[in-house]
Amino acid sequence: MTSSVSAASADASARRSAPGLSLLLQHTADAVRAVLQGRSLAEGLPEVPAALRPGVQALTFHALRHLGLARALVSHLADRSPEPAVQALLIVAVSLLVAPADGVRYAPHTVVNQAVEAARQHRRLQRQAGFINACLRRLLREQTDLMAEVAHDPQARHHHPAWWVERVRRDHPQDWESVLQASQQPGPMTLRVNRRRIDRSAYARRLSEAGMASLPTGDDGLVLAQPCAVEGLPGWSEGLVSVQDAAAQMAAGLLLDGQDWGPQHRVLDACAAPGGKTAHLLERADAQVLALDADAARARRIDDTLQRLGLQDRAEVKVADAADTAAWWDGRPFDAILLDAPCTASGIVRRHPDVRWLRRESDVAALAVQQRRLLDALWPLLKPGGRLLYATCSVFRAEGEDQMQAFVARHTDARRQPSAGHLLPGAGRPAGQFNDNPPGGHDGFFYARLDKPAA
């Protein structure tokens, strides 16, 4: 009797929330369709009404994390290829039916009914409501057989494009499955405490007093047990803390390690937007920092970041292509250079699940050429005795280890120092002393430090 009452209550609750779900499904389908047409979520989600945005983001992330499986199933459910808007709505509904969303489990009939209602409410999809209903009800009847039919499809099994799966398998033969699995899990909310404003242990106490549990990671980080809106963080507006993944927080320490940095030292952050690593450098050192970014809008985000942290007077921000040194360099060499180079972002797909579907295999080689251009342009700007830290948020060797081996072969005056190398996402296996796996792990990254011998 108790279980029947509980089931009835849960079903009644689902029915009460049904109208809201159909609206969420409409907007989620629009977001998924935009990604399939090459538009990032960073562009599309801000257009969703603010009241709906959290729910739409959660459902969109879920659908994109299971897009390979959902798209394969849709291709088996439909005798003809659906138009893009219908396909997107089917993908969203199928993802909810075969892979329960984090923290929310909708009854199967609720998903079907609300997907059909979403079609009926959509001017362009009204005539397709019956088709959508038939497809989803067939999935409920034949799910076991249909899942078996798509099991051989690498995109369906691993939730990434086939070329991506093969590249990760080739680059990390011992860890490729764990890399792909880690990319399916939402990343934890990791904070970086502004050591110029407050001690980490003191800030952890403030979190505790606000009912937020945390654990330390790295030199300045705290991992929250539960994520929250940044406005709810104690001292956010006063610049006490920033949000930055544990892997990204390694950059400042790797670049500054073992030296007393003062105002006489010049540091270049070559591709600096949105400014997290620039700010971390300024929080840890008294050096002069020049932050560059080629995109004016993104460069303004550096200014905003520094302003909130009270660091706006301690760095110069310029809009410039770092590789076009003739356009911005004043001829004075740098003591240190941080090159967080443009890359595929293959290491941060757990936070940006659209990336895997937006990228094309040809992008890897094209970005590797851009990374090589930046490295070759910036190396002459480093003074003898200086150091350059090369970083990418990528797990692909072409953007990491292969890039470094080729650079050292071209530049015989470059000396590689012990560094992190490829940091695999989640609880991967970073090298040696960098085996610091915070709760929930870290993003995928690559780091290599190059020193230029003193004259």
- Residues annotated catalytic, as ranges: 393
Pairing state between β 382-392 and 445-451: antiparallel
Secondary structure of the chain: what % helix, strand, coil (to 5)?
50, 15, 35
208 φ/ψ angles, rounded to the nearest 5 degrees:
-60, -40
296 φ/ψ angles, rounded to the nearest 5 degrees:
-65, -40
Distance, in Å, from the CA atom of 293 to the CA atom of 373, rounded to the nearest integer, reads 15
Q: Which residue reads 């990032």 in tokens?
A: 40
Distance, in Å, from the CA atom of 436 to the CA atom of 215, rounded to the nearest integer, reads 13
411 φ/ψ angles, rounded to the nearest 5 degrees:
-120, 95
* Cα separation of the two ends of the chain: 84
Distance, in Å, from the CA atom of 328 to the CA atom of 331, rounded to the nearest integer, reads 9
Distance, in Å, from the CA atom of 190 to the CA atom of 226, rounded to the nearest integer, reads 10
Question: What is the torsional sign of CA 13, 15, 20, 21?
Answer: positive
